[in-house]
Amino acid sequence: MTYDLSIARHTFSLHPHGGIFWKEKSLLLISDVHLGKVGHFRKFGAAVPRKVVHKNFILLDELIAHFQPFHICFLGDLFHSSLNKEWDLFENWVEKTASKITLVAGNHDIIAPEKFQDLGIEIFEALALNDFLLTHHPDVRDGFFNFCGHIHPAVRLRGFGRQRLKLPCFFKTKNQMILPAFGEFTGNHTLTPKKEDEIFVVVDNEVVKI
């Protein structure tokens, strides 16, 4: 189940897969997919199941089928490292995806820009649309609300009987929203919210404000 909220008179839908859909722009925001990470770790002997590779593409397809966006913008760390066999899967996925695709480059995006451009993918350091700034690293600029990634945010929740949960989340401050990592094999970083922050956790295929 998605969660809709209004920011600066625009409507955004938070999806439990980790994407945000900007309704007025028909723009889908996704961050930190880290394609190629499984192949990178398997190359050095880590016992990571191959099925994790395909899970990322399955989730991407489910997200696109739900929103049917005109435009998809990846907010950095789309590919984890240098080229490996997962790039071929990504090429095939791009060919069958009708949406326009852009990339706001992250610190892991070290593949030559020409490889993305050959697929029709534009690359930006940052992208400003209306009153919104799209970046990979969190960035605060006067007059803009920032959508970003990089942090892989999560929060810890305490329940009855000393129960503790660590859940990925959309982490919203006054002028910023940090997206959870999309990739299946990424890990996360626990953040401590302040009183004025808004937290939307992902749990049981649902986005819940806490």
Which of 20-34, 156-170, 178-192 is modeled with the greatest confidence?
20-34
Contact predicate 102/74, CB 8 Å: yes
Q: Which two tokens stand for residue 86?
A: 């997962």
- Structural domain containing residue 193: 3-209
Regarding beta strands 10-14 and 3-7, do their DSSP bridges make them parallel or antiparallel, or are they unpaired? Answer: antiparallel
The candidate with the shortest Cα–Cα distance to 36, out of 22, 23, 18, 48, is: 48
Regarding beta strands 27-30 and 71-74, do their DSSP bridges make them parallel or antiparallel, or are they unpaired? Answer: parallel
Better-scored residue on pLDDT, 168 or 54: 168
pLDDT score of 185:
63
Q: At a CB cut-off of 8 Å and minimum separation 6, what does 65 contact?
A: none
Q: Give the whole-angstrom CA distance, residue 139 versus residue 173.
A: 12
| 89-130 residue pLDDT tens | 999 999 999 999 999 999 988 899 999 999 999 999 999 999
Q: How many domains does the chain have?
A: 1
Contact predicate 48/37, CB 8 Å: no
Q: Give the whole-angstrom CA distance, residue 115 versus residue 122.
A: 11
Q: What is the CATH number of the domain that holds 26?
A: 3.60.21
